[in-house]
């Protein structure tokens, strides 16, 4: 099924940009997570609302990054677009690329999201309580389209090439990165801007609340007393390049994408397949494509949202792939960031690449009591020094969309 | 262009329900049903039956301009007007943008990659391009590429088009011809090339320049020449007169002397897929019987241009 490796161009990651509750630069992001800091808490605007039994959420409060966007972009775009444009500019800077270096017609923008510009819809709903729909400002209405996110990124970097907005829920980052990397592998393009973004959504917060899926205090992946997830937000953007293109301009690779598995559970909109069917296949496809053995994987970035069912099924799937008691060290930074929805897999990939660069595995915090059904080394509570060459990152989404991405530690090209 | 006000055609929901008899569709929203109905018909047309307990390497890509906007807004309005405790949790999954594609995947047993693409009026053609790349990169052996959009009050307030809007849903099936044996090869279309762009300044001069560049790109990607193209099938979100003038300008500059076809309705994210389905249905017409069997499908709107070059399939 897989084309021989020699026919596929190598895909390297040369730049990253981040906005999250752990900070909006890569060092702050790393330091916050390394110190095991929980970046979510009670939300003031929900505390007196009796409709919300739980008011814990992960919201980006620091708006200092906002001033770095030009005024014209700021006022015409929704918040998701603002996040994506900011992170893209940071990723390009990190890659040592400026817009003039992007190859015309051979640069792709591929952005994933769960809810798109949902805060625009939420403002519209609030206005509809006061006015009829035909009095809602057209400028606001125009900001809603999910299409705007990828377009605004492309306009900001003035790149010529294909452009994809791929809403694939909580696996959006992995899906958008895979789409872009396949285009580079096949020689269609040389450079891609790819990643995931989501803003904090009242709709999502309400929905998860009503599904009784929210944690009342902390996200506790793999813990016996885990109760649910924490809704969050953020953005992670990567610059992907063909290794040849990167080498020619003297760039350094932060990482290399070796393989990806995208599958579907075909089971249920909100519950994972009870046997982890999609997850097992995704991990196996990624491993086969990466041409790695099970023992090569040094670390797994788990999807692990902290819900009772998800974490158990993910462990079951990992056991089927790696063998019981043979699962590599596995952690979930959602314990510290909450669940950034479409940005989650992108933020987790940033963290995984940083872990490989620094030789440290970030912990799963808030871990108090072992769950016999999740009996893995989840790197509890403290970071751990470890040489890491290959990492596998899982993300599973509503609708049974499943993804596994394998990356190799970066270096000179 | 102005926001549309009530100028639209809707899908016959009764007919849709008839197609979907036997499916369990509690809490499934309209747009998901539209997509599911057309996906089911596409599988039947190709005579593919999927056993759900087998993980066939089949994928799905759904293009949609507005997606689940109606479902999100209905859900949110209940929360805003009556309080969060009044919302139906069973409707929450409908508010996630990938919901229609996943509903189709779950109902039909799609085990491979499922993508949703939200690229405005170009969503359908761009869905085909993703499906095409999935086949070429061997991520899947068969991919269903579709488009679907429904109409709701909020969307009518947002949408800008001078053409009548039409709720639509359509699917095509893409396969690797070297790995599939199938009947009716004379009714198959080959995907030859694709390209697209986003324009920073949406002006006629830039649109024309970009279209010409993209047309030259797709020609260069193929072993065809402009003279092999018999038809340019256009969907342009502007009035008929200006649209024809723009395309005629492009045709003059690339020395195209074939036929032109202009869509007179706006099918939103389903546009490109419907154009391709109509082309396949007309595959035996005079234009495709002659020498000039290639068709260029062109979508222009929402600051985007996408084009797909297709040709009548021949065994090589």
In Å, how far is B290's CA from the nearest CA of chain A?
A: 32
The residues in B 195-234 lying below 8 A from A, measured between CB atoms, are: 195-198, 200, 213, 217
**Would you say A198 and A209 are in contact if contact means Cβ atoms under 8 Å apart?**
no
The answer to whether the Cβ–Cβ distance between B195 and A162 falls below 8 Å is yes
Cα–Cα–Cα angle for A29, A35, A36, rounded to 5 degrees:
95
A42-66 pLDDT per residue, tens: 999 998 999 999 999 999 987 766 6
What does the pLDDT average to over A335-344? 98
In Å, how far is A156's CA from the nearest CA of chain B?
A: 9
Percent of chain B whose pLDDT exceeds 70: 93
Task: Please say if A138 is a catalytic residue.
Answer: no
In Å, how far is A340's CA from the nearest CA of chain B?
A: 14
How would DSSP label each residue in A124-191?
A: HHHHHTTS-GGGS-HHHHHT--THHHHHHHHHHHT--S-EEEEE-GGGHHHHHHHHHHHHHHTTS-SE
Task: Name the residue of chain A whose CA is nearest to B79's CA.
Answer: A206
Q: Which of A235, A303, A374, A378 is catalytic?
A: A303
Q: Is the per-residue pLDDT at B3 higher than 90?
A: no
Q: Would you state the pLDDT for residue B18?
A: 96
Q: Residues of B with CB below 8 A from A138's CB?
A: 3, 157
Q: Is the per-residue pLDDT at B94 higher than 70?
A: yes
Round the average pLDDT of chain B to a whole number and report it.
92
The residues in A 296-355 lying below 8 A from B, measured between CB atoms, are: none
What does the pLDDT average to over B182-199? 85
In angstroms, the CA A342 to CA A330 distance is: 21
B253 close to A (CB below 8 A): no
**Would you say A396 and A310 are in contact if contact means Cβ atoms under 8 Å apart?**
yes
pLDDT band at B2 (very low <50, low <70, confident <90, very high): very low
The residues in A 236-275 lying below 8 A from B, measured between CB atoms, are: 262-270
In Å, how far is B121's CA from the nearest CA of chain A?
A: 9
In angstroms, the CA A386 to CA A394 distance is: 20
**Of residues B79, B217, B303, nearest to A206 (C-beta):** B79
pLDDT band at A6 (very low <50, low <70, confident <90, very high): low
The residues in B 176-195 lying below 8 A from A, measured between CB atoms, are: 195
Asked whether the CA dihedral A179, A85, A22, A270 is positive or negative, the reply is negative
pLDDT band at A211 (very low <50, low <70, confident <90, very high): very high
A54 close to B (CB below 8 A): no
Q: Is the per-residue pLDDT at B227 higher than 60?
A: yes
The residues in B 88-127 lying below 8 A from A, measured between CB atoms, are: 88-89, 92-93, 95-99, 101-103, 105-106, 109-120, 123, 126
Q: Residues of B with CB below 8 A from A228's CB?
A: none
How would DSSP label each residue in A22-57?
A: TBSSHHHHHHHHHTT----EE-GGGTT-TT-S--EE
pLDDT band at A201 (very low <50, low <70, confident <90, very high): very high
Q: Is the per-residue pLDDT at B230 higher than 50?
A: yes
What does the pLDDT average to over B67-95? 97
Q: Is the per-residue pLDDT at B17 higher than 90?
A: yes
Q: Residues of B with CB below 8 A from A185's CB?
A: 137
A131 close to B (CB below 8 A): no
* Buried b or exposed e, range A346-385, using 16+ CB within 10 angstroms: bbbbbbbbbbbeeebbbbbbbbeeebeebebbbbbeebbe
A164 close to B (CB below 8 A): yes
Residue A391 dihedral angles phi and psi, to the nearest 5° = -125, 145
The answer to whether the Cβ–Cβ distance between A134 and B157 falls below 8 Å is yes
Cα–Cα–Cα angle for B105, B110, B114, rounded to 5 degrees:
65
- For residue A133, the cross-strand partners are none
Q: Would you state the pLDDT for residue B184?
A: 67
Q: Is the per-residue pLDDT at B8 higher than 50?
A: yes
Q: Would you state the pLDDT for residue B200?
A: 82
Q: Is the per-residue pLDDT at A207 higher than 60?
A: yes
A104 close to B (CB below 8 A): no
Q: Would you state the pLDDT for residue B213?
A: 96
A51 close to B (CB below 8 A): yes
Look up residue A157 and give its two tokens.
Answer: 């970097």
Q: Residues of B with CB below 8 A from A269's CB?
A: 93, 99, 102-103, 106
Q: Would you state the pLDDT for residue A7?
A: 76
What does the pLDDT average to over A335-364? 98
**Of residues B77, B196, B213, nearest to A125 (C-beta):** B77
A69-105 pLDDT per residue, tens: 555 456 789 999 999 999 999 999 999 999 999 999 9
Closest CA to B277 of B173, B186, B198: B173
What does the pLDDT average to over B6-35? 93
What does the pLDDT average to over A252-274? 97
**Of residues B88, B97, B303, nearest to A167 (C-beta):** B97
The answer to whether the Cβ–Cβ distance between A151 and B138 falls below 8 Å is no
Asked whether the CA dihedral A41, A46, A52, A57 is positive or negative, the reply is negative
Q: Is A260 exposed, middle or buried (0-12, 13-18, 19+ CB in 10 A)?
A: buried
**Would you say A260 and A378 are in contact if contact means Cβ atoms under 8 Å apart?**
no
Q: Is the per-residue pLDDT at A196 higher than 60?
A: yes
What does the pLDDT average to over B175-190? 79
Task: Name the residue of chain A whose CA is nearest to B157's CA.
Answer: A134
The answer to whether the Cβ–Cβ distance between B87 and A126 falls below 8 Å is no
Q: Is A47 exposed, middle or buried (0-12, 13-18, 19+ CB in 10 A)?
A: exposed
């Amino acid at each position: 099924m897989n084309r021989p490796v020699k026919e596929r161009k190598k895909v390297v990651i040369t730049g990253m940009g981040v906005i999250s509750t752990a900070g909006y630069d890569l060092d702050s992001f790393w330091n916050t997570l390394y110190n095991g800091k929980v970046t979510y808490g009670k939300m003031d605007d929900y505390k007196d609302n009796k409709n919300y039994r739980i008011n814990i959420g992960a919201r980006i409060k620091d708006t200092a990054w906002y001033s770095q966007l030009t005024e014209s972009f700021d006022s015409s775009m929704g918040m998701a677009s603002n996040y994506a444009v900011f992170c893209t500019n940071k990723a390009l800077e990190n890659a040592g690329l400026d817009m003039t270096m992007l190859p015309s017609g051979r640069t792709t923008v591929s952005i994933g999201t769960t809810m798109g510009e949902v805060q625009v819809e939420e403002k519209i709903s609030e206005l509809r309580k006061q006015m009829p729909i035909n009095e809602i400002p057209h400028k606001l209405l125009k900001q809603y389209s999910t299409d705007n996110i990828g377009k605004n990124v492309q306009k900001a970097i003035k790149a010529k090439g294909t452009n994809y907005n791929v809403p694939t829920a909580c696996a959006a980052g992995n899906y958008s990165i895979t789409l872009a990397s396949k285009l580079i592998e096949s020689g269609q393009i040389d450079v891609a801007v790819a990643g995931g973004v989501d803003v904090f959504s009242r709709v999502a917060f309400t929905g998860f609340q009503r599904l009784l899926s929210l944690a009342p205090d902390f996200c506790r992946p793999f813990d016996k007393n885990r109760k649910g997830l924490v809704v969050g937000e953020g953005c992670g953007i990567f610059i992907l390049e063909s290794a040849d293109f990167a080498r020619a301009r003297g760039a350094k690779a932060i990482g290399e994408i070796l393989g990806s598995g995208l599958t579907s559970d075909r089971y249920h909109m909100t519950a994972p397949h009870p046997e982890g069917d999609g997850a097992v296949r995704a991990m196996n496809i990624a491993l086969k494509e990466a041409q790695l053995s099970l023992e090569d994987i040094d670390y797994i970035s788990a999807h692990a949202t902290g819900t009772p069912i998800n974490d158990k099924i993910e462990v079951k799937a990992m056991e089927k792939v790696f063998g019981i008691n043979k699962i590599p060290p596995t952690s979930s930074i959602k314990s510290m960031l909450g669940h950034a929805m479409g940005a989650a897999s992108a933020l987790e990939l940033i963290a995984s690449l940083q872990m490989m660069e620094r030789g440290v595995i970030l912990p799963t915090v808030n871990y108090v009591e072992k769950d016999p059904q999740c009996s893995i080394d989840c790197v509890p509570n403290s970071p751990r020094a470890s040489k890491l060459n290959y990492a596998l990152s899982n993300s599973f989404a509503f609708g049974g969309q499943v993804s596994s991405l394998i990356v190799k530690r970066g270096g000179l090209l | 262009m102005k926001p549309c006000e009530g100028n639209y055609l809707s899908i016959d929901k009764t007919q849709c329900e008839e197609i979907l008899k036997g499916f369990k569709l509690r809490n499934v929203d309209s747009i998901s049903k539209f997509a599911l109905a057309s996906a089911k018909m596409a599988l039947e047309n190709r005579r593919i039956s999927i056993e759900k307990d087998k993980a066939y390497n089949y994928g799905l890509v759904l293009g949609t301009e507005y997606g689940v906007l109606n479902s999100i807004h209905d859900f949110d309005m209940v929360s805003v007007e009556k309080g969060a405790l009044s919302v139906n949790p069973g409707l929450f999954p409908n508010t996630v943008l990938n919901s229609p594609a996943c509903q189709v995947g779950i109902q039909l047993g799609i085990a491979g990659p499922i993508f949703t693409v939200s690229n405005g009026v170009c969503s359908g053609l761009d869905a085909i391009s993703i499906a095409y790349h999935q086949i070429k990169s061997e991520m899947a052996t068969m991919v269903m590429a579709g488009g679907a959009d429904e109409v709701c009050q909020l969307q009518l307030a947002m949408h800008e088009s001078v053409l009548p809007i039409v709720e639509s849903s359509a699917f095509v099936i893409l396969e690797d011809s070297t790995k599939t044996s199938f009947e009716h090869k004379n009714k198959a279309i080959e995907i030859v090339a694709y390209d697209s762009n986003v324009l920073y300044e949406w002006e006629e001069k830039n649109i024309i320049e970009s279209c010409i560049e993209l047309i030259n790109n797709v020609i260069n990607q193929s072993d065809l020449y402009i003279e092999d193209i018999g038809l340019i099938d256009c969907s342009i979100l502007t009035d008929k007169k200006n649209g024809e003038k723009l395309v005629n300008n492009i045709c003059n500059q690339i020395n195209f002397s074939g036929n032109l076809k202009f869509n007179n309705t706006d099918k939103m994210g389903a546009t490109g897929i419907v154009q391709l389905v109509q082309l396949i249905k007309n595959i035996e017409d005079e234009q495709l019987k002659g020498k000039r069997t290639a068709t260029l499908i062109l979508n222009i709107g929402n600051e985007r241009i996408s084009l797909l070059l297709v040709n009548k399939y021949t065994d090589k």
